[in-house]
């Protein structure tokens, strides 16, 4: 069974929940999880404290989407959720300059801990006060080879486009890694000979 894991992260109110919710309008996403005896008295299933979605691509391939809690005090969850991920998208509230510091903190946390392919979604581009993606890139010091895409997390086409950009970027990244890995293996075998 192939499993891909993608994390949607960002500061509080950056649109992580909306992103996953909107994506479910494009792609069938399973979000319900069984809960324990206590909770079952209230209702049989519930969406859990973290955003989660599972996309069944085929019988032998599933994609897991995890949305992280936005606040620093839940940063212990960021580590838990990000463990084993293949890539991530950082969402930024482009219309709220006061959130940039927090976004920078989250981004620094992720980059420090995981050298993995990612993109930045400059969200809320439908709002008049939204900063353009290139401004967001400069504010967060995003590397030139990392895509920063305009995003409206309430728009299914925009969300799908952002996810495709992430997947494209991940494909490029993993192709390089795969090639490098093969190259290293060849060198290693030559040394043995």
Partner 1 sequence: MAVCEIDLDETLKSLEKELVDVLRFSGHIYFLSLFDDRGNLVVSTSTNSHRLMDLVQKLVQEHDTIRYVEIEDSSHKVYALRVEGNFVVCALTSNEARSGLVKLLLHRLSLRIKPILTELKDVIAQQEVTQYSEVLRDLLRFREFLRGVGDGSP
- Contacting positions for partner 1 (CB under 8 A): 2-5, 12, 17, 21, 25-27, 33-36, 38-39, 42-43, 46-52, 55, 57-58, 61, 63-64, 67, 69-71, 73-74, 77, 80-81, 83-86, 156-157, 160, 163-164, 167-168, 170-171, 174-175, 177-178, 181
CB of 141 to partner 1, least distance (A): 27
Q: How many CA atoms lie within 13 A of 12 on its CB side?
A: 7
* 3 backbone φψ class: left, alpha, beta (φ>0; ψ -120 to 50): beta
- Can you tell me which residue has the tokens 């949607």? 8
Q: Which is nearer to partner 1, 67 or 133 (CB)?
A: 67
Asked if residue 5 lies in contact with residue 86, where contact means CB atoms within 8 angstroms, the answer is yes
Q: Which is nearer to partner 1, 8 or 148 (CB)?
A: 8
Residue 34 phi/psi, 5-degree rounding, is -70, 145
Q: Which is nearer to partner 1, 81 or 91 (CB)?
A: 81
Asked if residue 76 lies in contact with residue 113, where contact means CB atoms within 8 angstroms, the answer is no
CB of 144 to partner 1, least distance (A): 22
Q: Which is nearer to partner 1, 188 or 193 (CB)?
A: 188
Asked if residue 86 lies in contact with residue 114, where contact means CB atoms within 8 angstroms, the answer is no
CB of 64 to partner 1, least distance (A): 6
CB of 148 to partner 1, least distance (A): 20
Measured in residues, the chain has a length of 193
């Amino acid at each position: 069974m192939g499993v891909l894991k993608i994390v949607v992260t960002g500061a509080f109110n950056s649109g992580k929940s909306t992103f996953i919710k909107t994506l479910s309008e494009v792609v069938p996403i399973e979000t319900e999880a069984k809960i324990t005896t206590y909770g079952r008295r209230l209702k049989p299933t519930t969406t859990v404290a973290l955003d989660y979605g599972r996309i069944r691509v085929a019988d032998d391939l599933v994609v897991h989407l995890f949305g992280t809690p936005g606040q620093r005090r839940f940063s212990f969850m960021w580590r838990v959720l990000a463990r084993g991920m293949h890539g991530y998208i950082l969402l930024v509230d482009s219309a709220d300059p006061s959130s940039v510091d927090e976004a920078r903190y989250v981004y620094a946390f992720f980059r420090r801990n995981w050298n993995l392919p990612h993109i930045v979604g400059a969200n809320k581009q439908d709002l008049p006060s939204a900063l353009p993606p290139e401004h967001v890139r400069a504010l967060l010091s995003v590397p030139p080879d990392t895509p920063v895409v305009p995003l409206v997390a309430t728009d299914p086409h925009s969300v799908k486009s952002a996810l495709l950009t992430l997947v494209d970027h991940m494909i490029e990244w993993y192709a390089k890694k795969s090639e490098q890995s093969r190259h290293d293996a060849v060198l290693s075998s030559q040394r043995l000979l």
